[in-house]
Chain A
Amino acid sequence: MPLRIARPPGLARQLLGSAHNGRAFSSSPRRQSSRSPDVPFRLAVVGSGPAGFYTSYRVMGKIPSARVDMYESLPVPFGLVRHGVAPDHPEVKNCQEKFDEIASSPNFTFIGNVSIGQPGHSTQHCTIELQSLLRNYDAVLFSYGASEDRKLGIPGESTLNCIYSARHVVGWYNGLPDCAGLDLDLTQGEEAVIIGQGNVALDVARMLLEDIDVLKKTDITEHALAKLAESRVKRVHVVGRRGPMQAAFTIKEIRELMKLSRVEFHSFDRSLVPEDLKSLPRATRRLMEVLVKGSPTPHESASKSWSLDSCLSPKQFLANQESLSNVASTEFNITELSSPFDPKSPVKSTGETVILPSDIVFRSVGYKSVPLPGFDDAGIQFDDRRGIICNDGLGRVRSLASSNKAEDVNKQNVPGVYCAGWVKRGPTGVIASTMQDAFITGDAIAEDWLSGAPFSNTSSEQPMRGWEEVRKEADSSNGRAVAWDDWRRIDQAERERGQKAGKEREKFTSTADMLAVLG
């Protein structure tokens, strides 16, 4: 096996010092172990979201000889920037311009429609074994984000209709092929309940509350627009198990909801927020001020309304009397904050419950990453509880063998294997924080490479051949790989479709349609 897990330090040192190894080490007499920046460096990146791009950017900036191959399971790039960020937030997606610049470097290759380890989205899709990457690159970066979501694990959740995962809904209105088939039923009644008080919950709330004419001009998918146009939802509860001081949402998103025309905000339990807001730290104070001020829309002129419901932890979903397969209401345990004004305060159940009518329910309690097939064989440690690849905080991936031997750094990490973004830190953080995190990992990769640390195939005398070799090992009976110029054609085709509909773009919602553009 080419990958050496937990190589003993003695051997590592031996390899570092090996004079015959011209490929990997400079012959400078002063710094025996360091690599010269022009030694060829091949990096495979798994996932084309912000973490993948910003890490590549950093590595290419610091190691002039670096060549990056970025694998993406979809034919289209950008991860959650394309399939997560709300359609009415086009300015957030401006980072795509930077990603396009990075991809335009001659040292960068985009390999779309090819996933690592996981089976694909369609029959025209290509899958590569993780081992194949590890054999053909100096280093592999995992930046594949979070492709599942957290569940509540309460009765009714998986048996009743009209209970949706916010991740599916977001993917559906943003054109993620896996979610295109979602049959969202917004016609059952007027009351919607969203469980969770993060920004994803607010995105979903805004989609339900916003004027359809505003959404029309965005790049929201056609099928979503059609369903939203026939929505009967008028009242949205955004429900948290803790209070406003503990909520995960941020001020910009709350302010946006307050500004929606003809949408009323119901006042919330003021006792959960300190009487004197001035004493609060700046960010919390400003957020609470927006909440206390509420929306300017008076009740009489509102066509829809929403509320933040606090201290309610979901207990079970209850069926509709007439149609037993549909949800009709949600029962919550009423909770009590041990210290209402402390942002970290835990809650405990009071023993009382309350029932909220809910014709439709959205579960928005966070995304979740999963390990890739092949991790065990490669000795890569995954933390199932936190849903992250175990790492040293700087992006160096922990080896399965590392256990408690903290004294031996070489044994702790899998040489040449790194992670960044949501799969490294968990499914939270905006693009700015993902970028910062990616830079930290990029710095670690560059530092390790330039200082002569062991990498995936350190003993090989030949430069790694990357994609040139990997493609030969791949099962070629499957679909084609999508290059960056191919993506540009898909992009162009989407923009043209959009122009006809009076919007920025009309996304393709199936991989077949994306690939059809390429002929």
Chain B
Amino acid sequence: MSTSRSLATGLTKLPAAVCRRAQPIRNQSRASLLSSRCSTRTPSTILSRAIRLSPLCQRGFSTSAHQRHGHIHTPKPGEELYITFIDKDGEEYKFAVSEGDNLLDIAQANDVEMEGACGGSCACSTCHVIVTEDDFFDKMPEPDDDENDMLDLAFGLTEMSRLGCQVKMTKELDGLKVRLPSMTRNLQASDFE
């Protein structure tokens, strides 16, 4: 068995919290959803939720993603910046992060479902996010041509769209909220031709 393979499997056994660098604020992290699921959810939601958050998906793969995209920093006490991701089901995940980290790295380090297929090289558009408030959108440096070119291909492009890998957290963006576009394409008539 190769090194990286045993590494990946080895890490799978660690509790998710050990691998998490930015601490989730409340019960909204994926891992804690699993443990706190009994309180509010109906049985059927629990089922689908639990399946979606299966250990393999949650740790086995994304843990090693931490290594690859492990560029995020633990915020110094008192210097935390807050960011909230809203997933396609409307679920909110809020994290304390440090300045300079980009949204793709933050999402991946915290098991938020964001693919980042090109590893943050601005070449795939799978890290598309939609900023929820004008104010924050305006405070971000303008996207460059490369980012706009990839955004043009993004599904569900809006006027408030950005690529997560190109947006870095700054003090001005403290409190930022971004929505993840639904990854499921609306089926078109042509699919059934």
Within 8 A of A (CB), among B128-182: 145-146, 148-150, 152-155, 157
Chain A interface mostly helix, strand, loop or mixed? helix
Nearest-neighbour CB distance to chain A for B55, whole angstroms, equals: 7
B89 at interface, CB cutoff 8 A: no
- Cross-chain contact B183 with A101 (CB below 8 angstroms): no
Cβ-closest chain A residue relative to B54: A64
Residues in A neighbouring B75, C-beta threshold 8 A: none
User: Are the CB atoms of A37 and B152 closer together than 8 Å?
Assistant: no
Whole-angstrom CA separation of A102 from B5 in the bound complex: 10
Contact of B125 among A61, A393, A432 (CB under 8 A): A432
Tell me the smallest distance from the CB of A50 to a CB of chain B, in Å. 8
A-B contact pairs, 5 of them (CB 8 A): A61-B61, A92-B124, A101-B61, A286-B152, A393-B187
Asked if A62 lies at the interface with its beta carbon under 8 angstroms from chain B, I say yes
Question: Is B9 in contact with chain A by the CB < 8 A criterion?
Answer: yes
Q: Which of B20-28, B33-41, B92-100, B112-120 contacts A (4 or more CB under 8 A)?
A: B112-120
Q: Is B57 an interface residue (CB 8 A)?
A: yes
Q: Which of A37, A104, A436, A485 has a CB less than 8 Å from the CB of B54? A: A37
By beta carbon, the residue of chain A nearest B63 is A101
Give complex CA distance A386, B125 in Å: 27
In the complex the two chains form, is B146's CB within 8 Å of A252's CB? yes
CB of B124 within 8 A of CB of A431, answer yes
Instruction: For A488, give its contact among B2, B8, B154, B183 (CB under 8 Å).
Output: B2
Contact pick for A392, options B64, B122, B150, B192, CB 8 Å: B192
Asked if A60 CB lies within 8 Å of chain B CBs, one says: yes
A485's contact among B2, B52, B148, by CB below 8 Å, is which? B2
A positions within 8 Å CB-CB of B: 37, 57, 60-64, 89, 91-92, 94-95, 97-98, 100-102, 104-107, 250-252, 255, 282-283, 286-287, 386, 392-394, 425, 430-433, 435-437, 439-440, 443, 446, 450, 485, 488
Q: What residues of B have a CB within 8 angstroms of the CB of A446 in the complex?
A: 51
CB of B42 closer than 8 Å to a CB of A: no
Closest to A251 in B: B149
Contact partners of B121 in chain A: CB under 8 A: 91-92, 94
Residues of A contacting B126 with CB < 8 Å? 432, 435
Most buried by B among A63, A251, A252: A252
* Across-interface contacts of A107 in B (CB, < 8 A): 56
CB atoms of B5 and A104 under 8 A apart: yes
Given contacts A37-B51, A393-B187, A393-B191, contact A431 B57 (CB under 8 A): no
Closest to B67 in A: A101
Given A106-B9, A393-B187, A485-B2; A435-B152 close (CB under 8 Å): no
A255 touches B55 (CB 8 A): no
Chain A residues with Cβ under 8 A from B4's Cβ? 100, 104
Contacts A37-B54, A386-B193, A393-B191; is A286 near B153 (CB within 8 Å)? no
* Minimal Cβ-Cβ distance residue in A for B155: A436
| B contact residues around A64 at 8 Å (CB) | 54-56
| B60 CB, min distance to chain A CBs, angstroms | 6
Q: Is the CB of A61 within 8 A of B56?
A: yes
Assess whether B61 is in contact with A57, with CB atoms less than 8 Å apart.
yes
| Interchain CB contact (< 8 A) of B192 among A282, A283, A393, A439 | A393
B84 → A minimal CB distance (Å): 24
- In angstroms, Cα B115 to Cα A505, docked, is 26
Closest to A437 in B: B185
Indicate if the CB atoms of B124 and A95 lie closer than 8 Å: yes
B73 within 8 A of A: no
Q: Are A283 and B185 in contact (CB-based, < 8 A)?
A: no
Given contacts A95-B118, A104-B5, A435-B117, contact A286 B149 (CB under 8 A): yes
Chain A, residue nearest B159 (CB): A282
> Within residues 64 to 80 of chain B, which ones have a CB less than 8 A from any CB in chain A?
64-65, 68
What is the distance, in angstroms, from B85's C-beta to the closest C-beta of chain A?
A: 18
A60 in contact with B56 given A252-B150, A286-B149, A488-B2 (CB within 8 Å): yes
Cα of A287 to Cα of B68 in the assembled complex, Å = 33
Say whether, besides A62-B51, A104-B64, A89 and B123 are in contact (CB < 8 Å).
Answer: yes
